[in-house]
Amino acid sequence: MKKVQDFKVLEYNWLNEDNYVLTLIGEEEIPEIKAGNFAEIQVPDISDVFLRRPISVLDVDYEKKTLSFYIKAIGKGTRKLGQLSVGQKVNIIYPLGNHFSIHNEKKVLIIGGGSGIAPFVMLGRELKSKNIDVTFLMGGRTKNDIFLTDEFSKYGKVEVTTEDGSRGEKGMVTHHSLFKGDFDYNKVYTCGPDPMMKAVSKIAEAKGILCEASLENMMACGIGACLCCVTPTHDGNKIVCTEGPVFNTKELAW
């Protein structure tokens, strides 16, 4: 059930100068949220950021009525969301979009980069609760682009690649040594920059493994009304905010 609700800023946890976790607290019951769902957050106090910003839910605490978001400040909206006062009102529409699926997998690989790592805390927790073996593979340009690995390590093994070799293996995620040995994963989940997701999906498809990708297309309304987020698929254009953001990569015409 979608809600439009006022929350208040509870706290910030700054991971470095541009990356933070924003926790909001509300007074109403929070509807069920699944890994991959996102919220459209209205940016308060800024007249030239008219449109809400789509941000994945990082975590939820139904008892405390809190929602948290991992945010990478890249522009006006995401910067402003990092400058609010504790107690300030923030209006959000949530939970939006579909979510990652879990079936009878035994061993899965989760590959993330950039702001695309956010849905994977909830996904990792859900997979672990079903006794599914999880490996997280996180990529960045340098060690300063790698976040939340302590969180991920609660739910599975964590591997890292950096382009400059400052943390983990040197290179892109798709160069990681786990692709070279026995590759016995049943499913790959990915979210991050498009070129990364495309490369990951090619490998998964070549190995005959199901790959789900969460697209981060630019969005405006977030509820299927403006069509600005469509993506081409083999079955025509699909609306990412309502028919996605998670797609079986075999469907995508990218």
Ligand X SMILES: Cc1cc2nc3c(=O)[nH]c(=O)nc-3n(C[C@H](O)[C@H](O)[C@H](O)COP(=O)(O)OP(=O)(O)OC[C@H]3O[C@@H](n4cnc5c(N)ncnc54)[C@H](O)[C@@H]3O)c2cc1C
Mask of contacts with ligand X, 69-108, x by CB under 6 A? xxxx-xxxxx------------------------------
Q: Which of 209, 221, 246, 252 binds ligand FES (CB under 6 A)?
A: 221
185 binds, among ligand X, ligand FES, none (CB under 5 to 8 A by kind): none
Q: Which of 23, 56, 162, 190 binds ligand X (CB under 6 A)?
A: 56
Applying CB under 6 A, among 10, 25, 199, 228 the residue interacting with ligand FES is: 228
Size of the site for ligand X (CB under 6 A): 22
Judge contact between 229 and 217, C-beta under 8 A.
yes
Query: Which residues, 215 to 254, sit near ligand X by CB under 6 A?
Result: 216-219, 245
Binding mask 110-139 for ligand X (x = CB under 6 A): -----x--x---------------------
Q: Under a CB-based contact definition with an 8 Å cutoff, are residues 105 and 132 in contact?
A: yes
The distance of closest approach from Cβ of residue 126 to ligand X in the complex, given in angstroms and rounded to an integer, is 17
Provide the binding-site residues for ligand FES, judged by CB under 6 A.
219-222, 224-229, 239-241
